[in-house]
Structure 1
Amino acid sequence: MSAAIDDFLAMLAAERGAAANTLAAYRRDLEGAEQLVGQLDTISSERLGKVAKAWAEFAPSTIARKSSALRQFFSFLVDEGHRNDDPSHALPRPLPRRPLPKILSHAEVDQLFSRAESDAGTNSPARVRMLVLLELLYGSGLRATELVSLPVSAVPRDAPFLTVTGKGGQARMVPVSNRAKQAISKWLALSGGNSGYLFPSGKGHLTRIRLYQLLKELAVRAELDPSKVSPHVLRHAFATHLLEGGADLRVLQTMLGHADIATTQIYTHVDSARLVSLVNERHPLAERGTSD
């Protein structure tokens, strides 16, 4: 494979702070393209255009991602003086529609919490842990990986915040409700607090796969369709319900750890009715009434 790919990935890691998973995804896309059409650092635009046929069976979103990786790579080669031309104009340009996130209603979230709180009332460590996981997914909007890998040191003492390390190693502070703090205290007392992780398992921490399984099991006990419940769906519910309650989009961006506010804006679709009502009721022109 091209040594230029290694140089490009090193740049992403050093200058953009790209996470390991992101770097691995870029490598797969770039090396996969090289297997299809040959060395990318010397390829012609005519040869590069052949990837469109090879990618024909992929979803538009997949093609867009692969094309984006290649465009960034060729831009890097030009910037570094490794190429005088950028052949990326030959790449396909699909226009994928970003799917809207799955959303849980307030009633469905209430069902989950009612079941989790009832289960935790037995003082079973596993059930108390489940309540804490649910509190932090829906109450703080954490990603699955962020949640399962939380160190005990991230738990707040006096301040109502958790310090979370998100994508790209970026740290941020997220709010923790009083009820979540109470559940965490109960869990720490039951778990013994002998691990460096808030949710220890074996020699490490709870896995993302196990977190998914636990949520599905909770959904079944709460008499909800388990296919509707996942860590990401609860993160979506956190964002959606905050926006419905009047949260500022920039504040929401910070809490979710989004680098680009365009990512956060997807949640605005859920509140279109409220926004229309807000304009009709609060806009200065609303007081002027309508003309006959």
Structure 2
Amino acid sequence: MQDSINKYLSHIEQNRNFSAQTLRAYQNDLNQYLSFLITEGCRDFGNVTRVFLRRFLAFLKKQDYSKTTIARKLVSIRSLYKFLCREGILKFNPLENIRAPKRERKLPGFMSISEAETLLNLPGSNTLLGIRDRAIMETLYSTGMRVSELVGTDVTDIDFFNEVVKVKGKGKKERLQPIGNHALDAIRLYMDKRNSDSKALFLNNRGGRLTERSVARMLEKYVKKGGLSLNISPHTFRHSFATHLLDRGADLRSVQELLGHANLSTTQIYTHITTERLKQVYDKSHPRA
């Protein structure tokens, strides 16, 4: 069974253009599934029945995994079985009639415009780190890019003349993203001061490419300094970017493209945020609400 999993993982690594993070998630999900089957006395994927799968779902639920995580694990396992059937290793997919639990759709948190401005103004301009941190936050807020996309940005991806940045998104898909003057000015100042020939745009103290975790730690520092909500993360900039665009009249399709979402349904969650806020304004302000 381990050989089949390894063969499948090799296949998706070479042919599916998954990110390293997604590949790790698939590997962890499938190894957990394999471990469960072995514990249950099953040592051949051909012997797996729907009973085994329902036991596995019950096991995950007992481990307190969220519905979203369970659904993701089922996607990994379902994909494995499709591959094994396609390769002729299996004749039957036991997952065909098993549905994933309905995912919980939590409304993403976002900053108000004043909170965003407060955070952007916190880094000092008298140190290289302060100049870098300001450029990072301005870029996150100006483009709505994911933190993984931010740390993967190279100097050559910034087009100052056309005011766009080449964003390398999920599945190695690239898109050209507009970027505002505040972010471009902050990036230009940082590049003038950093004194490095590295191709990476944002660097750590040792001159290497910045990591996602380093950006999160940097942000935590400023959130505490500004006395803001402790729930603000790098991804909060992305949520705030989308919400503020919709609040100012941007259409949903345009926001979808700016966020790099493959499906409009993923972007539609932001309309719930703006609708909820309108309801609050209505309830508070209308004399007969």
TM-score when scaled to structure 2?
A: 0.85
Q: Which runs of 4+ in 1 moved over 4 A?
A: 89-92, 273-276
- The 8 Å contact of residues 152 and 168 in structure 2, kept in 1 or not, is answered as no
The one of 102, 113, 118 aligned to 1:111: 118
Matched, 1:85 2:88: no
Percent of aligned pairs sharing the same letter: 33
1:98 is matched with: 105
How far did 1:161 drift? 0.5
How far did 1:32 drift? 1.0
Letter in 2 for 1:244: D
2:184 is matched with: 181
The one of 35, 55, 68 aligned to 2:60: 55
How far did 1:140 drift? 0.6
CA distance in 2, matches of 1:151, 1:270: 33
- Judged with a 3 Å threshold, the aligned counterparts in structure 2 of structure 1 residues 2 and 161 are, in CA distance, closer, same or farther, namely same
- Judged with a 3 Å threshold, the aligned counterparts in structure 2 of structure 1 residues 274 and 224 are, in CA distance, closer, same or farther, namely closer
CA distance in 1, matches of 2:178, 2:43: 48
Deviations 1:28-83 (A, max 9, x none): 11121111114463233133332123212222222211112112222222233222
How far did 1:90 drift? 6.8
Letter in 1 for 2:58: K
CA distance in 2, matches of 1:102, 1:85: 43
The one of 252, 256, 261 aligned to 1:258: 261
- Could you list the runs of 5+ residues in structure 1 that have no partner in the other structure? 277-292
Matched, 1:221 2:212: no
Deviations 1:131-188 (A, max 9, x none): 1011111111111121123211112131110112121211111111112111111111
Deviations 1:244-285 (A, max 9, x none): 112222222222122222222211111226889xxxxxxxxx
- Judged with a 3 Å threshold, the aligned counterparts in structure 2 of structure 1 residues 67 and 273 are, in CA distance, closer, same or farther, namely closer
- Judged with a 3 Å threshold, the aligned counterparts in structure 2 of structure 1 residues 25 and 274 are, in CA distance, closer, same or farther, namely closer
- The 8 Å contact of residues 107 and 273 in structure 2, kept in 1 or not, is answered as no
Matched, 1:142 2:145: yes
- The 8 Å contact of residues 49 and 90 in structure 1, kept in 2 or not, is answered as no
Letter in 2 for 1:49: R
TM-score when scaled to structure 1?
A: 0.85
Matched, 1:24 2:31: no
Please show how residues 155-166 of structure 1 align to structure 2 within 5 Å: 155-166=158-169
Matched, 1:67 2:74: yes
1:288 is matched with: none
CA RMSD of aligned residues (A): 2.2
CA distance in 1, matches of 2:6, 2:248: 46
- The 8 Å contact of residues 71 and 103 in structure 2, kept in 1 or not, is answered as yes
Greater Cα shift, 36-45 or 243-252: 36-45
CA distance in 2, matches of 1:206, 1:16: 26
How far did 1:237 drift? 0.3
CA distance in 1, matches of 2:115, 2:44: 50
- Could you list the runs of 5+ residues in structure 2 that have no partner in the other structure? 280-289
Letter in 2 for 1:83: L
Letter in 1 for 2:19: A
CA distance in 1, matches of 2:277, 2:215: 34
- The 8 Å contact of residues 51 and 91 in structure 1, kept in 2 or not, is answered as no
